[in-house]
Chains A and B, each alone.
Chain A
């Protein structure tokens, strides 16, 4: 059931029904793209309103306009019925709009109270802060100890700081940008409980997410965006997740198909044993005696909450941080622990790092140059030290074609692509090198549903062709739909891998929280940076 909610209706009689925030015909253009095209949106007091859309659909632009970070080219913003100009985030906060960003801005070395105090400029308000933090966290079920240092806290707890920070301003509207991507299932439940309490007290919530099941469980209205326009407004509780996804993408969704290689037990292609590593980062997580093996044709998933050693594990596997022992990592039986990434690629490995910008790709360089980044040796794109421009371009074009990367061509800058398209390009770049071992971290982080499906299918096809695939992900849905076996990383230790049919989401969730004796908070060792 879809209803188009026209913004031009006559003023409602009852004051309670007056929209809290109304956007009318908002348009915003950037060079080369119309990010928001005549977008209208109404948020009523006390409602939990979902904003759904693919990456690049214009959600972030719209939210930035609401929060005063960007100014619209055209259109009107009405706050409680009065037209206003949202001049800056400070202005938005004074109106009573709070926002919890995906990336937290917290100082690890400071305490919870100190971090919150930093955001408050008025000394008057800073007085009695601890008492008010206690008060807010009790009222909304957000347990927080103001005296604890942030580096000791889990991601879920860190998010609570950001939420409490907003709530101290008594917001009328709270914007949450992809809040659950870093939480365990248990923490998600707790967050939803808080949000429902907030809504019950009259605070409206604008909830941005691509996790459809969550939106169906939490939100009472949803605005769906596609290519900068509002394509539908609906009640997500009565729509199926599949239907929502199709509205979002505009085509019918295909589920990934597991293709199993013929034959019996395959040989292990990636074997890691006794891998211990000190983190290079201050406040990083040390790896402790990690061991697993991935056979050809198999997808192994490593679940876990961010900051439990995934970054360090990835660096050890790619070779960006060399191991002490060569035998700690074997690729097809050959010790590679002391080789650099390029040498490991020559042994048949390929890698997709978590971070796209500046790690998996260079924003300011063209797609052709980015194709060169990992493929230069294995694909012979360099001859006698000189780049073979023709072959490099052809390879980039092949990636673009095969993986349906939406771009103006191989000469487009990587930074001009949407997150999902750039991720498809990076995954494609690695897969088309026909690796024997593929290690992928967060393959669909911040990627729209359409691209995510394509990436999942490509990973499964690669495994079906006989490669060993390791997926490190915080997205449990992804792990369960993609992997044959699952292990959980917590506090730098990896649990034994178990076949996907034999474990439940709840069990994995408990392991992620560090429930089995080696809890993340207790065993996480914090040490000073060593150079």
Chain B
């Protein structure tokens, strides 16, 4: 009995959408086994991790708060990934957006102007774009691989953030803690739903999903992205400019990452600290692929991954599990997703293979 893997010769529509579902099931199964190995009752642990956050009054709105940055970033990344522009540095662009907008909040600390928040939002977008412009320039001018450059710039961004909050931007009344002042009222996003932390970012994320869908499905630019990704030679033949698309996708991706960084510091966090992101920029990559690089899919995938963050927190509090549970869950999910995606192009066959000897006999 042998397992054989045969090429299908075409994309399987069923498995394009079946693969994320199967990957999720396998991930939950594996997470249960890991919980059991850690001496937990797997049912109770899984319930705490995946169901309890949804069942609580505070958990559900929090899901939206966590999903908003993931969806914003992943929608931008999806556009690039469609065109084979592999921006892995959304985390850095997120930080730069937070720094640019947050810097403005600190600079105009005394201001009560209603223009401060819009200016911060704009600065957040521009900050993320500026950070993404570096890999775009290096790729289009020197053909430098954007996977490496954008990833390395993430570490630079983290160090810049750490320098600022421990140095020049440290809260003078903060007892030396590495964090900035709390933003003023005028620099903070209002809560849209009383009693929750739901902020403007949640609405913007929904809007961006709609815009992203329209761009991909209805516009010439979206068509160009798809052609460049699926058949680069056909894109050249059609006269689509690849450098222009590299710039466009990196700027959109960077801008959205920067925007979500700003929303996070001006909303739930309320100040600059070294830990303004629980890895949203990297998790958004998983969200993009789990959502099949489709804005609507990204919306659902963002909710799933947001659950892993909240579930991790609840599991930490109620079961005393380490916070690493979230990272493990996300890692296993990506692992299974990549494996299951093989089913889109290949099928698995079980069966006996004819022994080689038969050929010699027949000859």
Distance of A17 Cα from B11 Cα, bound (Å): 45
Does B56 interact with chain A (Cβ within 8 Å)? no
In the bound complex, do residue B358 and residue A84 qualify as a contact, i.e. CB atoms below 8 Å apart?
Answer: yes
Contact with B along A298-342 (1 / 0, CB 8 A): 000000000000000000001110000000000000000000111
CB distance from A282 to the nearest CB of B (A): 16
- B169 partner residues in chain A, CB cutoff 8 A: none
Q: Residue A359 contacts which of B237, B239, B353 (CB distance < 8 angstroms)?
A: B237
B residues whose Cβ falls under 8 Å from a Cβ of A? 10-11, 143, 218-221, 223, 226-227, 230-231, 233-234, 236-241, 353-354, 356, 358-360, 362-363
- A422 CB, min distance to chain B CBs, angstroms: 13
23 inter-chain pairs at a CB distance below 8 angstroms, sorted by A residue, are: A88-B353, A91-B359, A95-B362, A95-B363, A96-B363, A340-B241, A341-B236, A341-B237, A342-B240, A357-B231, A358-B230, A359-B233, A361-B234, A362-B227, A362-B230, A365-B226, A373-B234, A374-B238, A382-B220, A385-B221, A386-B218, A389-B218, A531-B143
Task: Give Cα A373–Cα B226 distance, bound, in whole angstroms.
Answer: 11
**Which residue on chain B has the smallest CB distance to residue A91?**
B359
On whether the beta carbons of A364 and B11 are closer than 8 Å, the reply is yes
**Chain A residue contacts of B358, Cβ below 8 A:** 84-85, 91
A359 touching B362 by the CB < 8 A rule? no
Give 13 new A-B contacts, CB below 8 A, not counting A94-B363, A360-B234.
A80-B362, A84-B358, A87-B354, A340-B241, A344-B239, A364-B230, A365-B226, A365-B227, A369-B223, A373-B237, A385-B219, A387-B220, A415-B10
Residues of chain A within 8 A (CB-CB) of B11 are 364
A320 touches B236 (CB 8 A): yes
Question: Which 8 A-B pairs give the minimum distances between C-beta atoms?
Answer: A342-B239, A94-B359, A341-B239, A87-B354, A358-B231, A359-B233, A362-B231, A382-B220
* A374 and B237 contacting across the interface, CB-CB below 8 Å: yes
| In the assembled complex, A343 has its CB within 8 A of some CB on chain B | yes
Residue from A340, A357, A362 in contact with B239 in the complex, judged by beta carbons closer than 8 Å: A340
- Interface SS of chain A: mixed
Q: Which residues of B contact A385 (CB under 8 A)?
A: 219-221
Q: How far is the CA of A386 from the CA of B223 in the complex (A)?
A: 10
Q: Which residue among B218, B226, B227, B239 has the maximum number of chain A CB atoms within 10 Å of its CB?
A: B239
A355 at the interface (CB under 8 A from B): yes
Nearest neighbor of B239 in chain A, beta-carbon distance = A342
Assess A353 versus B237: contact at CB under 8 Å? Given A362-B230, A363-B231, A365-B226.
yes
Kindly provide the distance from the CB of A256 to the nearest chain B CB, expressed in whole angstroms: 27
* Chain A residues, Cβ within 8 Å of B240: 342
In the complex, chain B residues whose CB is within 8 Å of the CB of A359: 231, 233-234, 237
Does any Cβ of B come within 8 Å of A445's Cβ? no
Is A345 at the interface (CB under 8 A from chain B)? yes
Bound form: Cα–Cα A355–B237 in Å: 11
A70 to B345, CA, bound (A): 16
Say whether A372 faces chain B, with CB atoms less than 8 Å apart. Answer: yes
With the chains together, A96 CA to B240 CA distance in Å? Answer: 49
Does the CB pair B220–A87 fall under 8 Å? Answer: no
Instruction: Check: A351 CB closer than 8 A to any chain B CB.
Output: yes
On chain B, the residues within 8 Å of A374 by CB distance are 237-238
Cβ of A318 and Cβ of B220 under 8 Å apart?
Answer: no
A361 contacts across to B, CB distance below 8 A: 234
Closest residue of A by beta carbon distance from B355: A87
* Residues on the A chain within 8 Å of B223, using CB: 369, 372, 387
Q: Is the CB of B227 within 8 A of A373?
A: yes
Q: Once the chains are docked, how many angstroms separate the CA of A85 from the CA of B351? A: 14
Q: B234, A358: Cβ atoms under 8 Å?
A: yes
Q: Does A138 contact B (CB under 8 A)?
A: no
The interface centre, meaning the residue of A341, A357, A362, A364 with most chain B CB atoms within 10 A of its CB, is A362
- In A285-308, which residues have CB < 8 Å from any B CB? none
Question: In the complex the two chains form, what is the Cα distance from A363 to B236 in whole Å?
Answer: 16
Instruction: Determine if A401 is an interface residue (Cβ-Cβ < 8 Å).
Output: no
Q: How large is the interface on A (under 10, 10 to 19, 20 to 34, 35 or more residues)?
A: 35 or more
Out of B221, B238, B354, which one reaches A373, CB within 8 Å?
Answer: B238
Which residues does chain B contribute within 8 Å of A192, judged by CB atoms? none
Best-buried of B240, B241, B354, B362 by chain A (most CB within 10 Å):
B362
Q: CA A31 – CA B226 in complex, angstroms?
A: 25
Is there contact, CB below 8 Å, between B237 and A360?
Answer: yes
B354 touches which of A85, A344, A382 (Cβ 8 Å): A85
Of A94, A355, A386, which is within 8 A of B233 by CB?
A355
Q: For B226, give the chain A residue with the smallest CB separation.
A: A365
Query: Taking the complex as formed, is A498 at the interface, i.e. its CB lies under 8 A from any CB of chain B?
Result: no
Contacts of B360 in A (CB 8 A): 94
**Complex CA–CA separation, A498 to B108 (angstroms):** 79
The minimal Cβ–Cβ distance linking B358 to chain A, given in whole angstroms, is: 7
Q: Across the interface, which residues of A come within 8 angstroms of B362, CB to CB?
A: 79-80, 82, 84, 95
CB distance from B248 to the nearest CB of A (A): 12
- Contact at A320–B237, with CB atoms within 8 Å? yes
**Which residues of A, 81-127, contact B by the 8 Å Cβ criterion?**
82, 84-85, 87-88, 90-91, 94-96
Chain B residues with CB under 8 A of A531: 143
Query: Most chain-B Cβ atoms within 10 A of its Cβ — which of A320, A351, A373?
Result: A373
Chain B residue at minimal CB-CB distance from A377: B239
Partner of B238, one of A82, A342, A363, A415: A342
Chain A residue with Cβ nearest B349: A71
For the complex, give the distance between the alpha carbons of A364 and B223 in Å.
13
Most buried by A among B10, B230, B231, B233: B231
Expressed in whole angstroms, the Cα–Cα distance for A385 and B222 within the complex equals 10
Cα–Cα, bound, A375→B221 (Å): 15
Q: Decide yes or no whether A376 CB sits under 8 A from chain B.
A: yes
- A364 and B358 CA atoms in complex are apart in Å by 40
The chain A residue sitting closest to B236, CB to CB, is: A320
Residues of B within 8 A of A376 (CB): 220, 238
The complex places the Cα of A344 from the Cα of B359 at a distance, in Å, of 58
A385 to B234, CA, bound (A): 20
CB–CB A87/B238 < 8 A:
no
Cα(A87)–Cα(B11), bound, Å? 24
> Cβ of A343 and Cβ of B239 under 8 Å apart?
yes
Residue of B nearest to A352 (CB): B237
Q: Binary interface profile of A, 21-43, with partner B (CB < 8 Å = 1, else 0)? A: 00000000001000000000000
- Check B233 against A358 for contact (C-beta < 8 Å): yes
CB-CB under 8 A for A95 and B359, given A319-B239, A364-B230, A373-B227: yes
CA distance A94 to B356 in the complex (A): 9
Check if A386 sits within 8 Å of B219, measured CB to CB. yes
Please give the distance in Å from A429's CB to the nearest CB on chain B: 11
CB distance from B232 to the nearest CB of A (A): 8
Least CB distance, A24 to chain B, in whole angstroms:
16
Residues of the A chain whose Cβ atoms lie less than 8 Å from the Cβ of B237: 318, 320, 341, 351, 353, 359-360, 373-374
Minimum CB–CB distance from B321 to chain A (whole Å) comes to 43
B354 to chain A, nearest CB (A): 4
State A340–B234 Cα separation when bound (angstroms): 13
Nearest-neighbour CB distance to chain A for B132, whole angstroms, equals 22
State the Cβ distance, B225 to closest chain A Cβ, in Å. 12
Task: Tell me the nearest residue of chain B to A83, going by C-beta.
Answer: B362
| CB closest residue in chain A, given B353 | A87
* B218, B219, B234, B241 pick with most chain A CB within 10 angstroms: B234
Chain B residues in 8 Å Cβ range of A90: 356
A382→B224 CA distance, assembly (Å) = 12
Residues in B with CB closer than 8 Å to A85 are: 354, 358
Cβ-closest chain B residue relative to A320? B236
Most chain A beta carbons < 10 A, residue from B143, B237, B240: B237
Q: In whole angstroms, how far apart are the Cα atoms of A158 and B363 in the complex?
A: 29
